[in-house]
C-alpha cells in the first residue's frame, strides 16, 4: 500500500523535481544553498540502477538550467553497489563526468555500516580523478571513524560530518548521546584543522554553539566551514545563521520513494511524529 505524500511533506520537498523547485528557490532567496537528493536506496537490478543514473544526470542538468544554487547527494546502493562494485564505480564516474562538465558537485551519502568501507574506498578512487567535484559523509557514532577521519582529512577531502542515522549495534557504534557528541567535537576539530571546507551537519544546539565558539577561539573565519540541516527542520535557525554570515546549506530530499527516509526522521525525534500528526490535519 502506498502511503499518501501529505504525511511526508514536512520532510520531503515534493514527489518530483518540478514540485521541489519553489522550495529550493525559497531557501536560495534567503542566501541558503541546497543539496537535492532524489530519494531511494538499495537498487537490486541493473535496469533500475541505469535509470537512476540517468535521473541523476538529468537532475544536475535541470539544476543548471533552472539556475538553482544546489548540488546533489546520492547513495551508492542506488547506483548498484549491491549488484557489482565495478559497475557501481562506472555509474558514479559517469555521474561525476556530468558534474564536472556543469561545474557541480556530488556528495556520496553514508549508509548503514555494511557499506562504510566500500563507500570510503569508492570515494577515494573518485577523489583522485574528480577532486573538488566529489565529497562524502562520515558518521561520528561509528567506532571506526577515529581511523577514517584522520586519513580522509589528510587527503583534504570534502567531508560532511553527521552523527549517524542508522540503527547500529554496540560493537559498531556508540549508543549514548553524550559520547556521540564528544566524538563529534573531536572529529570536527580534525576536519576544521586539516580540510578546506568541512560541513557541520546537525540540528543540535550544543554542537552548533560549540563549533561557533571553537572557530572564534582558533580564529577561523566564518567562511571556513558550512552548517548543514535537513529540509523541514529549524529553518529559522538556518536563516539566522546565514544572516550572521555563516555558510549554510539545506539537504532537500524529493521523489516518490520517500518512505525509508521519512521513517528515519520519525524515529530520530518524538517531536517529528508530532509534526507529522499535525500535518495530517492541515491542508
Q: Which sequence positions are flagged as catalytic?
A: 109, 160
- Is 116 a binder of ligand FAD (CB under 6 A)? no
Q: Strands (DSSP E) along 13-158, which ranges?
A: 33-38, 70-74, 106-108, 134-139
Q: Is residue 106 a contact residue for ligand FAD (CB under 6 A)?
A: no
Which residue, 87 or 166, has its beta carbon nearer to ligand FAD? Answer: 166
Q: Is residue 164 near ligand FAD by the rule CB under 6 A?
A: yes
Beta carbon of residue 228, minimum distance to ligand FAD (angstroms, whole number): 4
> Closest distance between ligand FAD and the C-beta of residue 219, in Å?
26
Q: What is the DSSP letter of 41?
A: -
Contacts of 17 (CB under 8 A, 6+ apart): 36, 38, 59, 62, 254
Q: How far is the CB of 269 from ligand FAD (least distance, A)?
A: 5
On whether the CB atoms of residues 124 and 117 are closer than 8 A, the answer is: no
Please report whether residue 41 would count as binding ligand FAD according to CB under 6 A.
no
In the list 9, 89, 133, 163, the residue contacting ligand FAD (rule: CB under 6 A) is: 163
Kindly state the smallest distance separating residue 243's Cβ from ligand FAD, in Å.
Answer: 18
Give the distance between the most distant pair of CA atoms in the chain.
Answer: 54
Single out the residue of 20, 98, 145, 202 in contact with ligand FAD (rule: CB under 6 A): 202
What is the Cα 69 distance to its own chain's centre? 16
- Return d(Cα 162, Cα 53) in angstroms, integer: 25
**Residue 180 · residue 207 · CB < 8 Å:** no
Distance, in Å, from the CA atom of 201 to the CA atom of 178, rounded to the nearest integer, reads: 17
Q: Is residue 158 a contact residue for ligand FAD (CB under 6 A)?
A: no
CA dihedral 188, 192, 193, 196 (to 10 degrees): 140
Q: Does 203 bind ligand FAD (CB under 6 A)?
A: yes
Quick one: which of 205, 213, 240, 243 contacts ligand FAD (CB under 6 A)? Answer: 205
Q: Return the residue of 24, 88, 110, 191 that touches ligand FAD, per CB under 6 A.
A: 110
- Which of these segments, 61-69, 79-87, 148-156, 203-211, binds ligand FAD (CB under 6 A)? 203-211
Q: What mask of x and - would describe binding to ligand FAD in positions 225 to 264, judged by CB under 6 A?
A: ---xxx--xx----------------x-------------
Does 109 engage in binding with ligand FAD (CB under 6 A)? Answer: yes
Minimum CB–partner distance for residue 273 and ligand FAD (Å): 12
- Asked whether position 11 contacts ligand FAD by CB under 6 A, the answer is no
Selected binder of ligand FAD within 5, 166, 214, 259 (CB under 6 A): 166
- Residue 213 near ligand FAD by CB under 6 A: no
Cα distance between residue 94 and residue 268, in whole Å: 34
Instruction: Determine contact, residues 146/184, Cβ cutoff 8 Å.
Output: no
Q: What number of other Cβ atoms are within 10 A of residue 90's Cβ?
A: 14
CB 235, CB 29: distance < 8 Å: no
Write out 229-250 in H/E/C secondary structure: EECCCCHHHHHHHHHCCCEEEE
Residues that bind ligand FAD (CB under 6 A): 109-110, 137, 139, 160, 162-166, 201-205, 228-230, 233-234, 251, 268-269
Amino acid at each position: 500500500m502506498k502511503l499518501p505524500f501529505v504525511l511526508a511533506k514536512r520532510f520531503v520537498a515534493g514527489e518530483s523535481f518540478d514540485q521541489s523547485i519553489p522550495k529550493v528557490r525559497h531557501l536560495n532567496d534567503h542566501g541558503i544553498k541546497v543539496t537535492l537528493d532524489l530519494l531511494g536506496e538499495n537498487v537490486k537490478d541493473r535496469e533500475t540502477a541505469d535509470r537512476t543514473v540517468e535521473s541523476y544526470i538529468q537532475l544536475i542538468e535541470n539544476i543548471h538550467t533552472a539556475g538553482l544554487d544546489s548540488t546533489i547527494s546520492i547513495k551508492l546502493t542506488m547506483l548498484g553497489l549491491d549488484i557489482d562494485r565495478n559497475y557501481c564505480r562506472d555509474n558514479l564516474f559517469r555521474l561525476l563526468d556530468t558534474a564536472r562538465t556543469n561545474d557541480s558537485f556530488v556528495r556520496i551519502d553514508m549508509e548503514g555500516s555494511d557499506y562504510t568501507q566500500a563507500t570510503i574506498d569508492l570515494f577515494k578512487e573518485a577523489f583522485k580523478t574528480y577532486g573538488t567535484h566529489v565529497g562524502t559523509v562520515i558518521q561520528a557514532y561509528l567506532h571506526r571513524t577515529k581511523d577514517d577521519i584522520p586519513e580522509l582529512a589528510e587527503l583534504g577531502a570534502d567531508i560532511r560530518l553527521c552523527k549517524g542515522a542508522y540503527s547500529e549495534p554496540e560493537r559498531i557504534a556508540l549508543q549514548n548521546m553524550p559520547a556521540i557528541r564528544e566524538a563529534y567535537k573531536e572529529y570536527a576539530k580534525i576536519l576544521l584543522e586539516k580540510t578546506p571546507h568541512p560541513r557541520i551537519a546537525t540540528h543540535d544546539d550544543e554542537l552548533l554553539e560549540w563549533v561557533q565558539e571553537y572557530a572564534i577561539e582558533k580564529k577561523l573565519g566564518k567562511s571556513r566551514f558550512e552548517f548543514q540541516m535537513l529540509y523541514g527542520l529549524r529553518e529559522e535557525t538556518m536563516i539566522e545563521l546565514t544572516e550572521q554570515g555563516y555558510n549554510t546549506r539545506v539537504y532537500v530530499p524529493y521523489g516518490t520513494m520517500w518512505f525509508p527516509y521519512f521513517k528515519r526522521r520519525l524515529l530520530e525525534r518524538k517531536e517529528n511524529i508530532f509534526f507529522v500528526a499535525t500535518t495530517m490535519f492541515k491542508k
